[in-house]
Structure 1
Amino acid sequence: MEDKNNPQDGQLQIELTPEVAMGNYANLAILSHSHAEFIADFVRVLPGMPKAPVVARIMLAPENAKRLLAALQDNVQKYEAQFGPIELPELAQAGSKTANPFGVPQGNA
């Protein structure tokens, strides 16, 4: 009898539910960390709205945060090779690696 909960041949089966597949729009990410984890809060900021809701919070072990960073760098490089450079004027002006277009204070955990 086949067990559908056990991946065959060492392959992980990933399930994407319709609700999660819809995604959440976020135009701001607030990153913080402690010695044990990295936290990314994804926020939707809309003009004229007094509050900006966190639409998702992702918590990662430091090793997985570094893996995510490498995967994002790889994907940005592939994107730019196909579509051209992604311009970030706020980074060019500040000479910084951190974008903060809304003036939100940095988070600390």
Structure 2
Amino acid sequence: MEAPKGQQINIELTDEIAEGIYSNLAIITHSQSEFIVDFVKMMPGAPKAKVKSRIILTPQHAKRLLKALKDNISKFESMHGIIKESEAVPFSLGAPTAQA
């Protein structure tokens, strides 16, 4: 996502935001005027997953984000190999299933 040609954007990144938030699932919904991306953290054995962050985007910005993600994934895969996708969530959210 680039600034319009000839313009420079100064962006402030606080220490708290720079630390980041871990998410291993994104849930995306949309209305006529916005896209909503909920970033979720799912932990094995936890009774429920928690939304850690919600980002609301205009449709135009969502499309620019899609383009930027495609570009960055392509660059990543050219350096590190194809990202393998799993069809299912790698763990359940229910109570632990192991027995002693």
Say whether the fold is shared (TM-score over 0.5).
yes
Report TM bin, short chain.
0.7 to 0.9
C-alpha separation in 2, matches of 1:66 and 1:10: 21
C-alpha separation in 2, matches of 1:86 and 1:62: 27
Aligned length: 85
User: Is it true that 1:101 corresponds to 2:89 in the alignment?
Assistant: yes
Runs of 4+ in 1 over 4 A off after TM superposition: none
Aligned to 1:82, which of 75, 79, 84?
A: 79
User: Is it true that 1:40 corresponds to 2:28 in the alignment?
Assistant: no
Give unpaired runs (5+ residues) of structure 2. 1-5, 91-100
Seq. identity, %: 53
What does 1:7-18 align with in structure 2 at a 5 Å threshold? 10-18=7-15
Q: Which structure exhibits the higher relative contact order, with contacts defined as CA atoms closer than 8 Å and separated by 6 or more residues?
A: 2
Say which SS state the counterpart of residue 79 (structure 1) adopts. Answer: helix
Give unpaired runs (5+ residues) of structure 1. 1-8, 91-99, 103-109
User: Is it true that 1:72 corresponds to 2:60 in the alignment?
Assistant: no
How high is the TM-score relative to the length of structure 2?
A: 0.80
- Give the number of the structure whose residues are more often helix, by fraction: 1
- Residue 48 of structure 2 corresponds to 51
| RMSD between aligned residues | 1.5
How high is the TM-score relative to the length of structure 1?
A: 0.73
